A and B are shown apart, each in its own frame.
Chain A
Amino acid sequence: MGENYNELKKSTASQTGLTDVVLGWVMLYIDDPEDRSAVSLVCRRWYELDALTRKHITVALCYTTSPERLRRRFPHLESLKLKGKPRAAMFDMIPEDWGGYVTPWVKEIAENLTCLKSVHFRRMIVNDSDLEVLGRSRGEVLRCLKLDKCSGFSTDGLLHVGRLCRQLRTLFLEDSSIIEKDGRWIHEIAMNNSVLETLNFYMTDLVKVSFEDLQLIARNCRNLVSVKISDCEILDLVGFFHAAAVLEEFNGGSFYDQPDGYAAVTFPSRLCRLGLTYMGKNEMPIVFPFAPLFKELDLLYALLDTEDHCLLIQRCPNLEVLKTRNVIGDRGLEVVARSCKQLKRLRIEADAEEEGMEDEGLVSQTGLMALAQGCLKLEHLAVYVSDITNASLEYIGTYLKNMCDFRLVLLDQKERITDLPLDKGVRALLRGCGKLRRFALHLRPGGLTDAGLGYIGKYSWNIRWMLLGYVGESDAGLLEFSKGCPKLQKLEIGGCFFSEHALAAAMIRLTSLRYLWVLGYRELSQSSRDLLAMTRLFWNIELVPARRVVKTDRVGEVVVVEHPGHLLAYYSLEGPRIDFPDLIFRLNYQRISLYRSISL
Chain B
Amino acid sequence: MEGEAGSYEDVKPNVVAKQSNGDVVGDNGVGNLGSVEAPDFLSKKNFQNCSVATPASGLNSTSPAPSQLTIFYDGHVCVFDAIPVEKVREIMLIAATGAANSVDMKKVATDCATTSPVLTRSPSLQSTATATALASPQAQVYPTNRTPFCKLKELPIARRHSLQRFFEKRRDRLVNRNPYPNPSTPKSFDDTKANLSAATSSESGCFGKSPVAQEEFHPKAPAHVA
Query: Is this pair of chains taken from one and the same complex?
Result: yes
Show the binding face of A for B, using Cβ within 8 Å. 90-93, 95-96, 151, 175, 177, 179-180, 183, 203, 205-212, 229-233, 235-236, 254, 256-260, 278, 300-301, 303, 349-354, 384, 409, 411-415, 442, 444-445, 469-470, 473-474, 494-497, 499, 519-520, 522-524, 546, 548-549, 551, 553-555, 557, 559-564
Show the binding face of B for A, using Cβ within 8 Å. 44-46, 105-106, 109-110, 118-130, 132-133, 135-136, 139, 145-146, 148-167, 169-170, 173, 185, 187-190, 192-194, 197, 199-202, 205-210, 212-219, 222
Q: Given A522-B148, A564-B155, verify A258-B202 contact (CB < 8 Å).
A: no
| Minimum C-beta distance from A39 to chain B (A) | 37
Q: Given A91-B161, A352-B159, verify A236-B200 contact (CB < 8 Å).
A: yes
| Minimum C-beta distance from A236 to chain B (A) | 5
* One of A257, A354, A563 near B132 (C-beta < 8 A): A563
Complex: A256 Cα to B173 Cα, angstroms: 9
| Minimum C-beta distance from A86 to chain B (A) | 13
Q: Which of B135, B146, B158 lies at the interface centre, i.e. has the most chain A CB atoms within 10 A of its CB?
A: B158
Which residues of chain B come closer than 8 Å to A230, judged between CB atoms? Answer: 189, 207, 210
Contact between B194 and A207, CB atoms less than 8 A apart = no
Which residues of chain B come closer than 8 Å to A384, judged between CB atoms? Answer: 157
Contact between A207 and B119, CB atoms less than 8 A apart = no
Q: Given A300-B163, A474-B149, verify A207-B209 contact (CB < 8 Å).
A: yes
Contact between A561 and B199, CB atoms less than 8 A apart = no
| Minimum C-beta distance from A249 to chain B (A) | 18
| Minimum C-beta distance from A470 to chain B (A) | 5
Contact between A303 and B170, CB atoms less than 8 A apart = yes
Contact between A256 and B194, CB atoms less than 8 A apart = yes
Q: Given A180-B214, A303-B170, A413-B109, verify A207-B206 contact (CB < 8 Å).
A: yes
Contact between B161 and A233, CB atoms less than 8 A apart = no
Which residues of chain B come closer than 8 Å to A236, judged between CB atoms? Answer: 189, 192, 200-202, 205
| Minimum C-beta distance from A399 to chain B (A) | 27
21 contacts between A and B (CB under 8 A): A92-B124, A95-B218, A177-B217, A183-B206, A203-B162, A208-B206, A210-B189, A211-B189, A235-B201, A236-B202, A236-B205, A349-B160, A442-B157, A444-B152, A445-B149, A445-B152, A474-B45, A561-B132, A562-B133, A563-B132, A564-B154
* One of B46, B148, B213, B218 near A207 (C-beta < 8 A): B213
Q: How many A-B residue pairs have CB under 8 A?
A: 230
6 closest A-B pairs (Cβ-Cβ)?
A: A233-B192, A232-B207, A91-B158, A561-B129, A553-B122, A495-B155
Interface of A: prevailing SS: loop
Contact between B123 and A232, CB atoms less than 8 A apart = no
Contact between B206 and A548, CB atoms less than 8 A apart = no
Contact between A259 and B109, CB atoms less than 8 A apart = no
Contact between B109 and A412, CB atoms less than 8 A apart = yes
| Minimum C-beta distance from B150 to chain A (A) | 8
Contact between A445 and B153, CB atoms less than 8 A apart = yes
Q: Given A300-B166, A352-B167, A561-B126, verify A92-B118 contact (CB < 8 Å).
A: no
Contact between B187 and A232, CB atoms less than 8 A apart = no
Complex: A354 Cα to B167 Cα, angstroms: 10
Q: Given A211-B205, A411-B157, list of 10 further CB < 8 A pairs?
A: A91-B128, A93-B158, A95-B218, A233-B201, A413-B109, A415-B106, A415-B110, A497-B148, A519-B155, A564-B155
Contact between A560 and B136, CB atoms less than 8 A apart = yes
Contact between B207 and A231, CB atoms less than 8 A apart = yes
CB nearest to A523 among chain B residues? B146
Complex: A470 Cα to B149 Cα, angstroms: 9
Contact between B146 and A177, CB atoms less than 8 A apart = no
Q: Given A412-B109, A413-B109, A497-B148, verify A553-B210 contact (CB < 8 Å).
A: no
CB nearest to A473 among chain B residues? B149
Q: Given A303-B170, A473-B46, verify A554-B128 contact (CB < 8 Å).
A: no
* One of B136, B149, B201, B222 near A561 (C-beta < 8 A): B136
Which residues of chain B come closer than 8 Å to A179, judged between CB atoms? Answer: 214, 216
Which residues of chain A come closer than 8 Å to B148, judged between CB atoms? Answer: 474, 497, 499, 522
| Minimum C-beta distance from A476 to chain B (A) | 10
Complex: A563 Cα to B139 Cα, angstroms: 11
Which residues of chain B come closer than 8 Å to A412, judged between CB atoms? Answer: 109, 153, 156-157
Contact between A496 and B152, CB atoms less than 8 A apart = yes
* One of A300, A350, A548, A554 near B122 (C-beta < 8 A): A554
* One of B45, B126, B209 near A551 (C-beta < 8 A): B126
Q: Given A256-B208, A554-B123, verify A560-B149 contact (CB < 8 Å).
A: no
Which residues of chain B come closer than 8 Å to A254, judged between CB atoms? Answer: 192, 208, 210
Contact between B193 and A256, CB atoms less than 8 A apart = yes
* One of A95, A175, A210, A557 near B188 (C-beta < 8 A): A210
CB nearest to A301 among chain B residues? B166
Complex: A175 Cα to B156 Cα, angstroms: 23
| Minimum C-beta distance from A275 to chain B (A) | 12
Complex: A93 Cα to B129 Cα, angstroms: 9
| Minimum C-beta distance from A301 to chain B (A) | 5
| Minimum C-beta distance from B48 to chain A (A) | 8
Which residues of chain B come closer than 8 Å to A495, judged between CB atoms? Answer: 152, 154-155
Which residues of chain B come closer than 8 Å to A349, judged between CB atoms? Answer: 159-160, 163
| Minimum C-beta distance from A257 to chain B (A) | 5
| Minimum C-beta distance from B4 to chain A (A) | 15
Which residues of chain B come closer than 8 Å to A278, judged between CB atoms? Answer: 170, 173
Complex: A230 Cα to B212 Cα, angstroms: 11
* One of B125, B194, B207, B210 near A92 (C-beta < 8 A): B125
Contact between A353 and B218, CB atoms less than 8 A apart = no
| Minimum C-beta distance from B113 to chain A (A) | 9
Contact between B207 and A208, CB atoms less than 8 A apart = yes
Which residues of chain B come closer than 8 Å to A553, judged between CB atoms? Answer: 118-119, 121-123, 126
Contact between A151 and B149, CB atoms less than 8 A apart = no
| Minimum C-beta distance from B204 to chain A (A) | 9
Which residues of chain A come closer than 8 Å to B213, judged between CB atoms? Answer: 205, 207
Complex: A231 Cα to B165 Cα, angstroms: 12
